[in-house]
Structure 1
Amino acid sequence: MTNLKHVLTYGDAFVDYIANNTNNDAFTRHLGGATVNVAAGVSRLGVPSAFITVTGDDETSAFVRGELEKEGVMLYPSIIVPEKRVSGVFIHLTPDYDRIFADYVNETPDIQVTPNDLLTEAFQRASVFHVCSGTMFHPEALKTTEKAVELAKANGVICTFDANIRPLRWDSEQRSRETACKFLQTTDVLKVTTDELAFLMETESMEEGIARLSAFNIPLVFLTDGKNGTYALFEEDVFHIPVIPVQPVDTTGAGDAFVAGTIRYIHLNGMPKTKQEVIECASFSNKLGALCATKAGALTAMPRLEELERLNR
């Protein structure tokens, strides 16, 4: 543990089992999950990173912890419950070598980090606390997220939220929407895609969606639109930040790379205070998202700081 301020992230760890061939009879395992990508992505950008999650006593859990430690992610706020089994996602290859989601295995969904497991010290040491909606479908995880945000606010920590909407994990789209929108009220920085904006604000019009989102008075919103770049909502202004064109190989994880870049900027500089600072933050994050898209995989494609030189030539 270090006395330096770190970025603190809460969420589920996953293991992605990715097919080695189109017969889908052999798989290579990779560490996965949106919040894992962010925690590791931040560390790869040279920022101290700590992660709150729960793992078990089996070999797969040991693999997860080992991979996170290799990435330099501190696990002191995490817990081990022997019976916990990390969720697995099986990804098959089509004859055209496209990746498709084939199966999701979660043997122990009710073993979660509880509010009582949260370490106040972890929040006292944090510069930024990051979460997404991915775990909130579970009642206990929702309570833990609420308590974590409460601890972050009490300790003056900047809260970032990636909507990361996954309706299939919820019992209803409406509950997914209502839960995510509840957290918009305590968010300092929101990252949301154009599709997620339409889902959350219940309109296909981006202009109307932005207008409805403005009612939440979020200090800074980044609305990402893939190759079209990013729109920033800041001080009642909306402006566009373009992205450097790249030849995409796999866009998986590009949004997580964007979030990691945004968090790094805020960790080093604090919240952007001017339009120019917002543009600088988004431009940096856009580059990371674009660079991630030029490589296959998610965590394996999370950029390192030195790699940005490729896009700056």
Structure 2
Amino acid sequence: MQKVISFGEALVDMLSSKVSKPAGKTEAASHESFTKFPGGAPANVAAAVGKLGGNSVFVGQVGADMFGDFMKASLEDAGVDTRYLLQSDEGKTALAFVSLDDHGERSFEFYRNASADLLFSADDFQESCFEGGGLFHFCSNTLTEPAIRAATLAGIDKAKSAGCIISFDVNLRLNLWPEGADPFEFIWACLERADIVKLCVEELNFICRGQVQAQVIERLLSLGIALVLVTDGGKPLRYHTQERTGTIQPPSVAMVDSTAAGDAFIGGLLYALAEQNISAPLLSDFVAIESALLKSALTFASACGAYAVAHQGAFSSLPGKEDLTPAYFA
């Protein structure tokens, strides 16, 4: 089985649990309590692959603090190799406070200023991490500051040199970017280096900048991207390759919490590719010729996403293979 290397932020999600005002009390109508969960999009993907039984490796940095210890232990409990997870005395583990509305949709408030994940440098990558190739996955949250952006690009280059498939989930969080900063050019710089790209429809609209979606999809494919995936909640997943375009209808489930839905999806897809030992030289043929196998992999990934939507939290909502009952393939 191929190795899946996930790079980026590992942070603690402080997930809301709204509490109604007790009868007869005069304070605000409701207040929120928060419970800690392991999170961070790349860490979620690593955990998704690990819980499915894959060869999952996480690369990044947390603080040498109680939250960093919590993240390391949580990744290991999910079956993730953490030998390349650093713990820094110079920065704290990042936190994300996540409020949910009545439909399970999220809003985020990040505490990530000079946090440990942003202090990871290009020199912190260990060459042994990339030995044997595999799949290298990252998101745009490591593009927000110059130093971590440089580290991300260095990691992509090292992974490509080692023969890895490059997977990029845009996962745009504008409130993580400095005021006045425009992520557009930095996202496109990474799109130009990727083999697999996942965007939600809002992220696709962001990178369109006045062009119609079809034109931008064509541009992405012209860059040499083998597989472009566009998600839209419970609406059909669109996939685009050099040869074809298709859709996959996600399973219909009652939404509880969408926090890790996209990460469960991409983790499921990377696991499916790794399980079939799809290497970089084989990827183009896999998406071009083996359309039935590609659809099977995307259906499996969609089942993983649906399971996550139906459960609360990030790591805690990620399925093992035994959790993916036939209902998640309906």
TM-score by structure 1 length? 0.90
Aligned to 1:105: 111
Report how far residue 189 of structure 1 moved. 0.7
Q: Does 1:49 align with 2:65?
A: no
Report how far residue 244 of structure 1 moved. 2.3
One-letter code aligned to 1:287: A
Relative to 1, partners in 2 of residues 1:244 and 1:155: Cα closer, same or farther, differing over 3 Å?
same
Aligned to 2:22: none
What's the % identity of the aligned pairs? 27
Among 15, 38, 44, which residue is 1:18 paired with? Answer: 15
One-letter code aligned to 2:37: H
Aligned to 1:297: 313
Aligned to 2:23: none
Structure 1, unaligned runs of 5 or more: none
Aligned to 1:143: 150
Moved more, 98-107 or 239-248: 98-107
Structure 2, unaligned runs of 5 or more: 20-29
Instruction: Render the CA deviation track for 1:94-125: whole Å, top value 9, x for unaligned.
Output: 7x586764642235347511111101110114
Relative to 1, partners in 2 of residues 1:90 and 1:49: Cα closer, same or farther, differing over 3 Å?
same
1:89–1:101 contact (8 Å) kept in structure 2: no
2:100–2:257 contact (8 Å) kept in structure 1: no
One-letter code aligned to 1:286: S
| Counterparts of 2:107 and 2:306, CA distance in 1 | 23
Q: SS of the counterpart of 1:53?
A: strand
Aligned to 1:89: 96
Relative to 1, partners in 2 of residues 1:213 and 1:102: Cα closer, same or farther, differing over 3 Å?
closer
Q: SS of the counterpart of 1:80?
A: strand
1:5–1:127 contact (8 Å) kept in structure 2: yes
One-letter code aligned to 1:278: L
1:202–1:209 contact (8 Å) kept in structure 2: no
2:59–2:85 contact (8 Å) kept in structure 1: yes
Among 282, 295, 304, which residue is 1:279 paired with? Answer: 295
Among 188, 191, 213, which residue is 1:184 paired with? Answer: 191
Among 4, 8, 13, which residue is 2:5 paired with? Answer: 8
Moved more, 39-48 or 74-83: 74-83
RMSD: 2.3
TM-score by structure 2 length? 0.86
| Counterparts of 2:292 and 2:220, CA distance in 1 | 22
1:15–1:30 contact (8 Å) kept in structure 2: yes
Aligned to 1:198: 205
Q: SS of the counterpart of 1:21?
A: strand
Aligned to 1:261: 268
Q: SS of the counterpart of 2:38?
A: strand
Instruction: Render the CA deviation track for 1:64-120: whole Å, top value 9, x for unaligned.
Output: 1111111121111122222320111223467x5867646422353475111111011
Aligned length, in residue pairs: 309
Pairing of 1:210-229 with structure 2 (within 5 A): 210-229=217-236
Instruction: Render the CA deviation track for 1:230-273: whole Å, top value 9, x for unaligned.
Output: 11111242121222222222222111111001101111221324
| Counterparts of 1:289 and 1:75, CA distance in 2 | 24
Report how far residue 211 of structure 1 moved. 3.0
2:131–2:162 contact (8 Å) kept in structure 1: yes
Relative to 1, partners in 2 of residues 1:203 and 1:280: Cα closer, same or farther, differing over 3 Å?
farther
Among 153, 161, 167, which residue is 1:160 paired with? Answer: 167
Moved more, 246-255 or 47-56: 246-255
One-letter code aligned to 1:106: R
| Counterparts of 2:227 and 2:62, CA distance in 1 | 33
| Counterparts of 1:105 and 1:174, CA distance in 2 | 18
Report how far residue 126 of structure 1 moved. 4.1
